[in-house]
Amino acid sequence: MMEEMSQENMEEVKVLEAQIKHLEAEVSALKGQQQDNHKDITFHFRGEMQDAMLCMCGQRQGDKKEKEKVLSRLKEEVEELEVDLKLQAEMNGISLTGCTIKTLQSSDRKLVQQLCVSGHCSELVFQVEFQLSEVKEGSGCVRTISDLNVVMDASDLQNFGSFLSGVEESRDLLLLFRTLRTFSNRCDDRRRTFQHFQEKYPSVVSLPGGCSSEVVTLNHPELSGCLLFVHWSVDVSREGGVSPKIELLTKIPERALQLFPSQAVGGAEEAFQSLLRLLGPEAALESVVMAVGLSRDT
């Protein structure tokens, strides 16, 4: 009986020892994270903001009133930063929805962090991951980016692959976000144009894939089977150049082709491209819509 109790006690002791070791490991990890946070504060903040953060983290002594004053200043600082962030989003069209930071290396002179930033530009959703290294040199610091990886969630990215590969190699975040905004603006222009003509000429213009698709269909209600398709894509070069590509495609039944000169039908795309060069996308598209509809919808 005594031997059984002794065996049970030994097992309980082993379990407790394992739990203690686990707790010690957690405490050690938390202390390490706390030290990293303090170093981050030293790296990223200066002046009153740094003093306030150190005071709140217990690195500097202060009475209750002083801490309340510091907390009030921090709240004001955060509110100002939120206003600045909102203003930046309105100016550049890019809204950030999340940011995670993991410290990989930290010393008095060098800080290496893994960042993951997510957000959207209009309907274009993105996630950017990269390593940021900061090395103190004199009174300033030198920042470098490495291991850039861009993930995007959109259906309109057939021609984006080459650009993303290039920007990941060059690690040019400015080019990435500038191109995202330009691309998004061009897609918004297309969406607004398609929606405008669908509302203005509902009996002629249809959008099978919705306003955000690349294709708009034109047909006269009395000419069944005779269709025109305007394909409007947005191409992105490896260097970040963004340009629209608009084409006119025809679908004419064979019987109808016998009633029209083949040269006129075959030259529709060439004529449309001439209109694009002379009038621009909206006016050229409206000219085609009116020609198909023969008269405006009223």
- Give the model's confidence band at 241: pLDDT under 50 very low, under 70 low, under 90 confident, else very high: very high
pLDDT in tens, 26-46: 887 777 766 666 555 554 555
Nearest 5°: the CA angle 273, 277, 279 is 105
Summarize pLDDT for 76-115 with one digit per residue, the tens: 877 887 788 787 777 778 888 888 888 888 787 888 889 9
Q: Beta partners for 2?
A: none
For the stretch 217-240, pLDDT in tens is 888 777 666 788 899 999 899 999
CB 73 within 8 Å of CB 81: no
Q: Which of 238, 123, 271 lies closest to 190, judged by CA?
A: 123
User: In the predicted model, is pLDDT for residue 263 greater than 50?
Assistant: no
Is the backbone of residue 18 left (phi > 0), alpha (psi -120 to 50) or beta? alpha
> What's this model's pTM, rounded to 2 decimal places?
0.69
Q: How far, in Å, are 85, 160, 292, 293 from residue 198 at the CA level?
A: 36, 28, 14, 12
Strands 110-121 and 124-137, how do they pair? antiparallel
Which is higher by pLDDT, 6 or 204?
204
